Amino acid sequence: MKYCTECLVPDTKPHAVFDARGVCSTCEAHRLKNQWLTGIDWKARASEFGAAVQEAKTDGKPSGGSRS
Ligand SMILES: [Zn+2]
């Protein structure tokens, strides 16, 4: 019997697929998910959000002088 080298799930688990390193598909999916999560540039997102807020504040203000 073969076991996942990371989580030790046996290859008798239904639908278990192992890659060349002996890692099961569940561990691989988990690794990809974490990679995606840590790949987010939160600082860039924060400045993008700040810019959007500034834009909304500027555009949302009643100009006051356009009533004629
Ligand atoms: Zn695994």
| 41 band by pLDDT with thresholds 50, 70 and 90 | confident
For residue 62, the 8-state DSSP code is -
- Tell me the three state secondary structure of residue 18: strand
Distance 58 CA to ligand 1 centre (A): 51
The per-residue pLDDT of the chain, averaged, comes to: 87
Q: Which residue has the higher pLDDT, 62 or 55?
A: 55
Distance 20 CA to ligand 1 centre (A): 13
Q: What are phi and psi of 7, to 5 degrees?
A: -115, 0
Residue type at 45 in one-letter notation = R
pLDDT tens figures, 5-38: 999 999 998 888 999 999 999 999 998 888 888 8
Residue 32, by phi and psi: left (phi above 0), alpha (psi -120 to 50) or beta? alpha
